[in-house]
Structure 1
């Protein structure tokens, strides 16, 4: 039976890896954020202005392997499979046998994780680290072995190298321990030695933040001003149900079951505290996804006790799969963009808010999907504009992009190495990669709108010409322009270098 369980779980893990590659339509490419994280891998560092360094190290490996679509998507797929196995492991530790473990594992396939684990963003690492920490917490409860206590804090430290939101999860564990008899752990030397180990493993991260004047807080403030201010509590809690709606009966039943279990109640309390803290912090709905695998594990253990007959167990597994099928087109782009837009309109997805973007307006495609098209068109048009300049003018031209997505796309899709070396951007970590001194006479601008008149650098050119723009109306980049600023005065690069120096100084550069 044990070997049979291993084989089935490994097969589910393999399915988890390959399924998105099989389902996503090839018209869709990399997501806006994936261009940023891939470029981080071309500049390995401990930490970046937006996030810790672990995803950058993985991107470096992807770059060594050629940087193809497959090798960029490889990491979220593999870590998704590892998360599936850990979720089944939690179910097993809570008492589930094969049926309960399969039910839990399917929860990682049949839900929002289907999309999350095909996006090269820190979220897949965050979810893995939270689940790993939860697994070691349950193992420590079951075995009382200090080894798992040390591994718990090591997993939390690894989470800090993935995404800073692990702080919410660590605090929720700390609070849950205080609310249960496990508060006695705080009196043990081994607990504080393990905590010290976690701190030591986190020190290089914290040192980098201190050396760069805590860009984490700058990034958090920017998020709050540009995105989180639009998050409301009603939407947040609605998303908690929608994200895992095909398997909602599993995790909700698991939560109720584990809260009534004296030995494992700490896990349920940890989940509730985590959800509450993220909600109070105006976090986005998907910020909580790292907390759900342990509830899926609890749900597997609950159903193992509840459902005894084999035919009913098969029915439960089939119910998970069948309930998922209608949601797959919402989780991955299965059709070409135009066909998907027509389907969205036909089924009225705008009425339930699935087509609402960060600008609070409804659009033809879901925002994530619209962020996966148009980038190659933008890169091709920018590179073509550069090559239309005389060779002498090319040498005196820089290519300035307003956003990290535009810069990352140009660097990824452009064919000419000379052109790629000209690309700069002052958005996010790209700022730190700009040479300290710029010299140019022409500037190829890539952005949504013409620079404002109070942007002094752009007023120092003798001519301005809009050369091209993104014409794919379904792309989120629709209307992004390629603009040539020609024949700069000497004051242009003087002002540009002054501004660059001031921006870098904010981060201790």
Structure 2
């Protein structure tokens, strides 16, 4: 145990360090990271898109200067913690050093490499899914009620990180109901733990109630803009693709759990969560939290299978994920500047993997996540260019408005370097932060519309000038424009006030 512990913690440290060495410094924060960093400047018990947990890490990130090191540290730590908890599952099953080594491979050569390097709710969500599985596994091994309380706390904290934790909660409880462990529901400690879990989650539930459940509004928008493109064959194919270099490990774990009376609930939980996500048109990566426990089971079984007569097979079990995984690394992290990376994808014929397909179902030179890490600083520089065209008195009252949360998040993230005032948007949680009574005289507008000056609202200004645009050809925001509107009249101010009131009213339904 001591030797496997040393290996476990050493590999966890490697898990934190490796992505920092792989991602090229050319890239900037991801579009969604910019939103979550903005939420750290507006701490609350909830937000339109996500529960409040990530905003706490955002607050610390902003406090420490908002550098890429801090932005990426939190998901890296959650990745290492998920690996450690998975390693504890391995040890509880009798696994030793080789099983720990096998377990490490999917964290380095699969989708987790990206998911634990993007500052998004997925990282803590996967960790808490794994904690939930670990706690119930340990309860079935020991009957110690402390594991039920750990399960309850993990569910609550998971729900405070991402609401899709509810899928796995339902799935694992259904899995228990379909096995010999259904007697757990008669255990008083299970219900005490459920009560504690509810109390922990209650503040966010109250926030949702007081704000008319904006998560429903957000999910409706998500369904209309993205989830409608999710189809079962693609969802199921992605489950294999995301874990392709190490597919034999999780499949071994799944079939072992399915055959085991003690751990069959893990296999049932997997099947139920896949079914629930298919019914709910969930994105493929929503299921990634279910795999660490399966990898742990598979690693132990493969270690036992090769323990005596098949030790040479262990070399193959290590080399296959490493060799195939090296091909996937440039698809999982932006290891080269955009032009070189795009050329590499052409050589690798990466279009066949589907990883170059964006939400518009079209292939592009870079994966969407990578293109969402480009152009933000250029955009802010050009907003500053428009800002500096104003005299000192006009700068005091200028209103910077952006058409989406990525734009507003970028201007606020980089804006202090250029002494810019706060930027606003009516998109996502930025809608909550729009000042209701701000006097608008001049406005800098960041938009993807090349013809803003032709709209009726533009008649409410003395002058309109298109100042510049984002030119990075690999950025998803390429072609976004920066306008300077000067001399607003009362008609525009009234139009804008009513527009914001109408947008906020939509959140109540």
User: What is the TM-score when the length of structure 1 is the normalising length?
Assistant: 0.96
Counterpart contact for 1:438–1:497, Cα < 8 Å: no
User: Secondary structure at the residue paired with 1:400?
Assistant: strand
User: Secondary structure at the residue paired with 2:494?
Assistant: helix
Counterpart contact for 1:37–1:121, Cα < 8 Å: yes
- 1:174-253 mapped onto 2 (5 Å cutoff): 174-253=173-252
State the partner residue of 1:444.
444
User: Greater shift after overlay, 97-106 or 196-205?
Assistant: 97-106
d(CA) in 2 for partners of 1:351, 1:72? 32
Structure 1 residues 218 and 452, CA gap change in structure 2 (3 angstroms): farther
State the partner residue of 1:479.
479
d(CA) in 2 for partners of 1:189, 1:416? 57
- 1:332-411 mapped onto 2 (5 Å cutoff): 332-411=333-412
User: Greater shift after overlay, 319-328 or 403-412?
Assistant: 319-328
State the partner residue of 1:432.
432
Counterpart contact for 1:89–1:101, Cα < 8 Å: no
Query: What does the per-residue CA deviation read over 1:21-45, in whole Å, with 9 as the maximum and x for residues that have no partner?
Result: 0011111111111001111111111
- 1:6-405 mapped onto 2 (5 Å cutoff): 6-309=5-308, 310-405=311-406
State the partner residue of 2:501.
501
d(CA) in 2 for partners of 1:314, 1:138? 30
Structure 1 residues 454 and 86, CA gap change in structure 2 (3 angstroms): farther
Query: What does the per-residue CA deviation read over 1:305-360, in whole Å, with 9 as the maximum and x for residues that have no partner?
Result: 21114443344233332231111111111111001111122232224422111112
Deviation at 1:166, TM superposition (A): 0.5
Deviation at 1:438, TM superposition (A): 2.0
How many residues align structurally?
507
Deviation at 1:412, TM superposition (A): 0.9
User: Secondary structure at the residue paired with 2:163?
Assistant: coil
User: Secondary structure at the residue paired with 1:46?
Assistant: coil
Deviation at 1:455, TM superposition (A): 6.7
User: Secondary structure at the residue paired with 1:444?
Assistant: strand
d(CA) in 2 for partners of 1:499, 1:335? 43
Deviation at 1:507, TM superposition (A): 4.4
User: Secondary structure at the residue paired with 2:466?
Assistant: strand
Counterpart contact for 1:212–1:508, Cα < 8 Å: yes
Deviation at 1:201, TM superposition (A): 1.1
d(CA) in 2 for partners of 1:95, 1:3? 13
User: Secondary structure at the residue paired with 2:464?
Assistant: strand
User: Secondary structure at the residue paired with 1:153?
Assistant: helix
Deviation at 1:473, TM superposition (A): 0.8
Counterpart contact for 2:458–2:464, Cα < 8 Å: no
d(CA) in 2 for partners of 1:107, 1:362? 26
User: Greater shift after overlay, 354-363 or 52-61?
Assistant: 354-363
Counterpart contact for 2:394–2:442, Cα < 8 Å: yes
For structure 2, the 5+ residue unaligned runs are none
For structure 1, the 5+ residue unaligned runs are none
d(CA) in 2 for partners of 1:369, 1:54? 25
User: Secondary structure at the residue paired with 2:484?
Assistant: strand
Query: What does the per-residue CA deviation read over 1:181-228, in whole Å, with 9 as the maximum and x for residues that have no partner?
Result: 111112222221111111111111100000000001001001000000
d(CA) in 2 for partners of 1:355, 1:119? 18
Structure 1 residues 4 and 311, CA gap change in structure 2 (3 angstroms): farther
d(CA) in 1 for partners of 2:62, 2:360? 33
User: Greater shift after overlay, 258-267 or 296-305?
Assistant: 296-305
User: Secondary structure at the residue paired with 2:400?
Assistant: strand
d(CA) in 2 for partners of 1:459, 1:98? 71
Deviation at 1:498, TM superposition (A): 2.4
Deviation at 1:451, TM superposition (A): 6.6
User: Secondary structure at the residue paired with 1:463?
Assistant: strand
User: What is the TM-score when the length of structure 2 is the normalising length?
Assistant: 0.96
User: Secondary structure at the residue paired with 2:420?
Assistant: helix
User: Greater shift after overlay, 187-196 or 170-179?
Assistant: 187-196
d(CA) in 1 for partners of 2:465, 2:127? 48
